[in-house]
Chain A
Amino acid sequence: MRYYLDYNASAPMDERVKSYVKEIMDMHGNPSSIHTKGRKLKDLLEISRQRIALLTKCNQKNVIFTSGATEANNLALNGYKKKIVSIIEHESIKKQKNTITIDVNKEGYIDLVMLENILQSINKKEGVIVSVMFANNETGIIQPIEKIIKITKIYQVPFHTDAVQAVGRLNINFLKLGIDMMTISSHKIGGPSGAGALIVNSKKHILKPLLLGGDQEDSLRSGTEPLLAIAGFGQAAELLDMKKIEKLKALRMAFEKKLKKAKLGIQIIGENSNRLPNTFLMYTPGIKAEDLLIALDLEGFDVSTGSACSSGKAEPSMVLKRMGYPKKMASGVIRISLGLYNDISEADMLVNALKKILKRFGKI
């Protein structure tokens, strides 16, 4: 028996998404072709675009499909000369050139005063962009997006947000919030991997394509559209039941309560901060996260340290370090991220496994 508690890494695909994608597998063609087969596929592409627009409350035309969130983030920032970004962004933002970073406080929120000071200090606002993630992938802490937008509007610089973990977990109204650009990803909401989108409210933003070619996606993303992934993405968006997802908060809180009551010294990071309904980062004293991760895996639990790299090596949590926690704590946190297939009995199983593991490690 395995327990999947790592929805922020990737969410399982809904059966209905699978069967939809399977249907499309039987329809061959290229969405750019003029003939009937091509047009049929183009229709499916646009249906997906519509569904993404519906989910994020934007216009269909705002949606640019990409291969995933990493590409969308790169596309968003590619044309800008100065990128003001938070210090807890995903690598695809963090590794950009010419960035100025904004700190976060112990509650996990970005320093709004610092943001304002940075914007104030820049005389020429052309080519400047602010990018702050909607909600953090490790802690689940939700940034004060409305306040950030208010500031960026005053200084008249565009605002981009990486909303990969927030979309499908929070009700986001892209147009009403006044976001300029937003990154979303298919496989975090139960679609296939290999698709994502950058949502852009106006073509006046400096968008410099990363790939040159056949001018698909309004010339912003050349290359034949990966229709299977995009169609699955749209179908997953269509199937999202936000009411059910909101209920995950109660499950998350029940998990947290049981873990805290287990007398293992477990702490929830940013416990009193505004967080995603499904995510928490927990600190277990006395054991390194990498040891705990492996031990839990062997006991049947799929969890994450939040920042595992492609080779599978666990690193101390960068986010926690940036929040000002000591290194020892940053090296001892694991992330639990829940989804619709989890239930509270798994919390009891998790507590039991933790007790067993800590005992073996000589900690209790």
Chain B
Amino acid sequence: MTKKKKVVVAMSGGVDSSVAAGILKEKGYDVIGITLQLYTVKQEIKTKTCCSGIDIYDAKEVARKLDIPHYVLNYQENFKKTVIDNFINSYRNGETPIPCVQCNQHIKFDDLLITAKGLGAEFLATGHYIRKKKVNNIDGLFKAKDESKDQSYFLFQILEKDLDYLYFPLGDLSKEETRLLAKKYEIPVANKPESQDICFIPYGNYRKFLSKYKGFKKPGNILDTKNNIIGKHEGIENYTVGQRKHINVSINEPLYVVKINKENNSIVVGKKDSLKSKQIKIHQINWLGKKSFLKNKVYKNLYIKVRARQKPIKGTLELLENKEGKVLLDDYTYAVSKGQGCVFYDNQDQLLGGGWIK
């Protein structure tokens, strides 16, 4: 009797990861479901519940339906350290963070990966929409077939050494196909709405969330691009580069946030034109493409995204010391924000890596 291959699936209790588990089960794997408890939702009633979250319950119900073992791992401490604290600090520094990338980087594809290996699994699978394919016999990551669902941007920090161990069963599916499979597997969450917000922020209200921490709500000046004070703001955390709302300064033309200065607690606003840029400095570059790249200094004809929902723009990456780099876009882009990812693809939609915008 050949032993079935073991695979660990990260199950969030949502449709996608539930279907991922279902697909693997159908393919004949020995599937183990794991749900990560990342934070505690404060309930309306005052008691701090032992295990919060309807999502954990949902994941358990899906696992029961699929007849696979399911476990909950408590990663709250690590999530706080690597994701939430980083999110808060990022806003303190006038940046616009993307916590999902850090969660993928430090939680799912680090701690959970170690556990999956320890449990004897041959793969760690997730419900991300991204494809893994071999190119010249080397594993590579590619945009999802359904580009509207593509999550490759959020996965640019996956390490090349881990690729061999990862499995993304949804990369070739559209959301519609996923939902159909959910119905086919009789997954109880088939009609659950998609989560849009940052998971640990209740009701998507990040300002209210931040207000519980020190160092926010510091009033400061709103400057124009010539450094004239033209108004007051209630804290730099309320602004993101490119934002139009909440500026409260009226001139004839619409104004946008063009810069956030942590040093003097000011924001700079200007016309749309002053938002555009071609040069971007990045750090902590992670490379997933051909290894030989790292010997080169310059990489041309990359397709580059500076935010999740954006059409890639062609450009060049120049590699500097200490995993830092300079990106020069062929065309102007608008509202490049510190703290977001700058992610590279080739002309075949292969995810080549990325870095954090400085």
Contacts and interface: CB of A to CB of B under 8 A. Distances in A.
Interface of A: 287, 290-291, 294-295, 297-298, 309-315, 357, 360-362
The 4 closest A-B pairs by CB, nearest first: A311-B51, A361-B118, A309-B50, A313-B72
B118 A311 contact: no
23 contacts: A287-B118, A291-B73, A291-B119, A294-B71, A294-B115, A295-B118, A295-B120, A298-B32, A309-B51, A310-B51, A311-B57, A311-B60, A312-B51, A312-B72, A313-B50, A313-B51, A313-B56, A313-B73, A313-B74, A314-B73, A315-B74, A360-B119, A361-B114
Contacts, number: 57
B71 A361 contact: no
A310 B118 contact: no
- Interface size range of chain B in the complex: 10 to 19
A360 B74 contact: no
A292 to B, nearest CB: 9
Contacts of A291: 73, 115, 118-119
Contacts of A294: 32, 34, 71, 73, 115, 119
B117 A360 contact: yes
A298 B51 CA distance: 23
Contacts of A315: 74
Interface string B26-59: 0000001010010000000000001100001100
B202 interface: no
A295 B119 contact: yes
A22 B300 CA distance: 79
A315 B72 CA distance: 11
A274 B242 CA distance: 68
Contact of B74 (A314, A357, A361): A314
B69 interface: yes
Interface string B73-109: 1100000000000000000000000000000000000
Given A291-B115, A298-B119, A313-B37, 12 more contacts: A290-B73, A291-B118, A294-B32, A295-B119, A298-B69, A310-B51, A311-B60, A313-B73, A315-B74, A360-B119, A360-B120, A362-B117
Question: Chain B CB within 10 Å — which of A291, A294, A357, A360 has the most?
Answer: A294
Question: Chain A CB within 10 Å — which of B60, B72, B73, B118 has the most?
Answer: B118
Given A294-B71, A311-B56, A357 B51 contact: no
